[in-house]
A and B are shown apart, each in its own frame.
Chain A
Amino acid sequence: MDLGEFETDNSVSCRLSSPIPDLCKNEDCCLGIDEAGRGPVLGPMVYGICFCPVSKKEDLKALKVADSKTLTETERENLFMKLDEAKSYVGWALQILSPNTISNSMLQRSKYNLNALSHDAAIGLVRYAIDSGVQLKEVFVDTVGPAEKYQEKLSQQFPGVEVTVRPKADSLFPVVSAASICAKVARDHAVKGWKFAEDLGDVDTDYGSGYPSDPKTKSWLLKYLDPVFGYPQFVRFSWSTAQTLLDTKAVTVHWDDDEEDGEKAAARQNNTSVLSYFSRKPSHGAHPREPHRFFSERKLQSVDTL
């Protein structure tokens, strides 16, 4: 699998895809959706779709694709090769959500949670397949969040397509297993070959599984914690593991959308800074005049002490 396009800028989200088999444009198709790397605190989360004509379901089954989690890395690589060899009737597409995209989305002012991010990635991929001419009739997907809601959301998006949202879909439907293999292979490659945008010299690549519970992952997170910047973009800042480490070991950073306390809200209404309350005392005089609006609009004020 060639991740070159993602690796040129691994701070953003990236779509990779196989060519669309001609068969898929002429016959009714089924499509599976699955993801890899949802839980880890490191690296991208990858969404994958895999599709083939409904008439080829048995051929796909014969490739012996199984849930990627039950396979070794080598087995997954081999199965991905087999899928590639079956390109006359099997197609796939991937959405790689970089850890930076995940952090940025989850930490933005109007919070964009992981479920919404996942749903949108899945919907985007299915839309891509339809727009590329795939004659889509059936969609199978493992559930993200409440199954009924997800099913409803997908059905609404794609009228005329039969949507099946099912827990453990990756072990029940070969087309979902195939999607999970594509996603997992991409995720493994992305993590293994991670090019740090930061200038960190030789980075220890012994990340462990990337799961917060893995001691190797934990010690890597401790080793690469910077007191000011926190982490390289390889780490998902929005994970509580990362947040907790930063809260205890890095310098505190305050943003204007941190939860407001009463004092701050009052200060904001008066258009003054909280700091001015307890450090730089306001100018004397019984009736301090309001500064002219030229200055208040520009946040300019006299300086009492340096």
Chain B
Amino acid sequence: MSANSSVTVVQLDSAAQANKEQLHLLPCEIEHNGPAEVSRFYSPTVKDHKHEMTVSFRGRPLKGQEVNCPQGYTGLVLKEVQRPSSDQEDRIVKVSSVFNNFTRWNLETPPTSDDGVVMAMMWPKLAEAIHGPIDE
């Protein structure tokens, strides 16, 4: 059996019960997966003046902006239901939350349309031009 024979199944019916959660894309790598007191420490200190959002994380100044999902697209957070005991077994994930936008943060520099994360939002539209079927 090939290692590639195992697949990851997404239980899409779980999307109906999925939470709507706030997402923040941070300009640093946090070596941690797990709980974080975002609503106590982070959200109340975010300031939003005329579309310029600011906050501090670990004493460093961040500047942020809301980013919307491209039209026709939905944001999903997938979470593994149970870790399989071997790599031959299928992995099963569920939709733990859904989102239509998120906040992305730069370290110090004001967000611009040339930032990678914003430029990448262009991809789905181009993908459709590349991959749409050719009609006669």
Contacts and interface: CB of A to CB of B under 8 A. Distances in A.
A297 B119 contact: yes
Interface residues of A, number: 37
Nearest to A237: B59
A13 to B, nearest CB: 13
A242 B60 CA distance: 14
A298 B125 CA distance: 14
A244 B100 CA distance: 39
The SS class assigned to the A binding surface is loop
Given A251-B30, A251-B32, A253-B58, 14 more contacts: A103-B56, A107-B59, A108-B108, A200-B40, A228-B36, A228-B41, A229-B41, A237-B60, A238-B59, A253-B31, A257-B107, A297-B119, A298-B119, A299-B120
A298 B118 CA distance: 8
A66 to B, nearest CB: 35
Contact of A294 (B28, B30, B57, B126): B126
Contacts of A103: 56, 59-60
The SS class assigned to the B binding surface is mixed
Contacts of B13: none
B27 A229 contact: no
Most B CB atoms within 10 A — which of A11, A252, A253? A253
Interface residues of B, number: 31
Interface of B: 8, 27-32, 36-37, 39-42, 44-45, 47, 56-61, 91, 107-108, 116, 119-120, 122-123, 126
B108 to A, nearest CB: 6
Given A227-B32, A228-B32, A256-B107, A198 B57 contact: no
